[in-house]
Structure 1
């Protein structure tokens, strides 16, 4: 099932477009890079692939925009899996061009958050001419790890397989994640021996080491660090490291580093509860495989999207992405 929303100068308003959806034409699916018969989406080689039906398309009429490019922007909500959380908003043009893509992954302790809170950031990338995929994913209360990584992989697979529907170049995209979403973005960046078409990963306050979060949350007066420790335990299905070492090893991004990984950028605040040590551990591991990672530390204690919204951070991230995409 798909819904659509419109772009307006002031807000984003979700609207159900009616019970009858238009079936994607066979020609459109055939023109997609990796479409397969049967209308099922899978990601090969994953630990728990989730099949989903061929998407159906119903588009809304764009409202008056803030910029000329947004005048023709259409926003579709696409189901990439059967769970209610397996949805993504696709901001795209209907001009048939092959545009680079940006995937956005929200934060929220792995247990909360929603793509709707990423609307302004999504809009800013659409204004720059990217096809933008703003993701929801199953939370830790819905399913334990690795369901969250699997969902991001499935969303990317869906986008690449049906790239022609959204004027998207499946060989040219970046993934940007915030806080817990930064963990998922980095986990995708180190998955297997590299994803086709992925050019770079950005994490803003990324929790790339749940184990470090677990350790930092012991005997501390910092309520956020204590909460992050509990959130990491919940992500592991309620199982602590001593009892479930394989699960915790799987959650550690640095444990999956390999030659096929892509460059990364991480931004932390100097005094936030997700310290730069998370990213420095990953940077050192990636260095062993000749993969570059830039770790930036900003003054203050801003975390996740408030950190990103600092003008110097937003500009740096956007410039970095522009330099990595073709």
Structure 2
């Protein structure tokens, strides 16, 4: 099987627009019939317009990945109704790098459907995209959502050939609470096989920081984030018998030399403070893992932050550098 890197590289001009659902829904323990993105009547394929008029080809090949022929399957990676992921792929003989997307929502809400256009933007660049749902805090407490993320990744790697996916060349991108899961996966033990990078957009890296910053504040979002962290921990605060679960949730404390490089993006005045990224950067740098922190002016959080001019492009460029260098 040929490597995707040998025949093409990435177009890096996609931006994010509002969500639109294109996937099908699978029954439990099943893989749905593929949906062809941009398919018209009688099975004919019509190109889906890119978020920007013309993706720029890379200098190395002069060839931008094709949008036509992209399929979307909804896959069950576990028994729970939330243990589902949408897989965007092209059924060819290449081994393409992968991007795993994790939605936010206070660990208690949200859905992969809100990541549809982000999924589309990465699929248009030639990646295999895994847009995952996971059990929420109302379904199960920590570490259930992290366990689900591991389950989605393991399923993708196990069935890599089905989706033309290179199981040893992927990144994980998480938004807000999903950023907590992405960075938690990135710092688990001494690194996951094949994980080349982690991106957090407004990630709640330190639930303990969220807990502390939510005490006595007038900011309703900080108060809600504190309550959400308590709910994720099973309803208990970080003392006594609950200290162990809070320790497990605290991403910076699990930094190790084998962890993947990270890119973290915050707004300067959003309710998930840059203190989260400062702590993680300090711990990862102590063990020699590179961390890039970008700070944008303003209060935008999560997807609105990602939509700011230039942010998505910077993230996509960083992702491309990690996956292209690993795929050669």
TM tier relative to shorter chain: 0.7 to 0.9
The match for 2:69 among 50, 68, 72 is 72
TM, length-normalised to structure 1: 0.84
Report the equivalent of 2:295: 297
Written as runs of structure 1 = structure 2, the 5 A alignment for 1:186-265 is 186-243=183-240, 244-265=242-263
Written as runs of structure 1 = structure 2, the 5 A alignment for 1:134-173 is 134-173=131-170
Written as runs of structure 1 = structure 2, the 5 A alignment for 1:1-326 is 11-15=20-24, 56=31, 58-62=33-37, 63=39, 64=46, 65-66=48-49, 69-243=66-240, 244-326=242-324
- 1:293, 1:92 → 2: CA distance? 29
Counterpart contact for 2:36–2:72, Cα < 8 Å: no
More relative contact order, 1 or 2 (CA 8 Å, 6+ apart): 2
Number of equivalences: 283
Per-residue CA deviations over 1:174-215 (Å, capped at 9, x if unaligned) read 000000000000000001111000000000000000000000
1:236/1:91 Cα in 2 relative to 1: closer, same or farther (>3 Å)?
same
- 2:286, 2:294 → 1: CA distance? 20
1:13 Cα deviation after fit: 3.5
Structure 1: give runs of 5+ residues left out of the alignment: 1-9, 20-51
- 1:265, 1:126 → 2: CA distance? 20
- 1:289, 1:278 → 2: CA distance? 18
Structure 2: give runs of 5+ residues left out of the alignment: 1-18, 40-45, 51-64
1:195/1:217 Cα in 2 relative to 1: closer, same or farther (>3 Å)?
same
**Stretches of 4+ moved more than 6 A in 1?**
none
- 2:93, 2:163 → 1: CA distance? 8
Per-residue CA deviations over 1:224-278 (Å, capped at 9, x if unaligned) read 0000000000000001001310000000001111111010000000010001110
1:161 Cα deviation after fit: 0.7
- 1:16, 1:191 → 2: CA distance? 31
Structure 2 SS opposite 1:70: coil
TM, length-normalised to structure 2: 0.83
Structure 2 SS opposite 1:176: strand
- 1:211, 1:281 → 2: CA distance? 11
CA RMSD of aligned residues (A): 1.7
